[in-house]
Structure 1
Amino acid sequence: MGIRGRFLTLAAAAIGVSFVGFIVFSIALGKLAGFIAMLVMAAAGLVTIYVKQRGGLHNKRRDRGIFIYHNLFKH
């Protein structure tokens, strides 16, 4: 399976940030360092997206345990 739903915009943002990182690192350290930085940033962004995607599209909070509600219908 690929990237789905709202994660497409996050993937586009990760690729955009990696491109900007390439420009910054290539100016500061050279083109090879810029290329390596771009690959690392893109891979980190995409791995993060795949991990979040495994949790579900809406990332619901899942509390564990037993909850007791006292005085729920007290007047």
Structure 2
Amino acid sequence: MSFASPAMAATPLVRACPIRIISVHLLDAAGQLLRVLFLDREGHISALPHYVPRAEALILASNQQRVLGPQARVHVL
């Protein structure tokens, strides 16, 4: 006896997580990693990770990468 309903079988599995963490990897002049920090929803850099909705995370990360330029690598995790 199966407990799965037909509606459950028809529901597509979404693999994209709706919440992300934005990490900021600060680099030295040689490109070596100095420190890993995080962005919050307001775009402030913090030592603690903050969960941000995916669409906002992508925009914040792009903007922060433009601001920091080559001295950092900004990643949406």
TM over 0.5: no
Q: Which has the larger radius of gyration?
A: 1
The structure with more helix, counted as a fraction of residues: 1
Output the TM-score relative to the length of structure 1: 0.30
The structure with more strand, counted as a fraction of residues: 2
Output the TM-score relative to the length of structure 2: 0.30
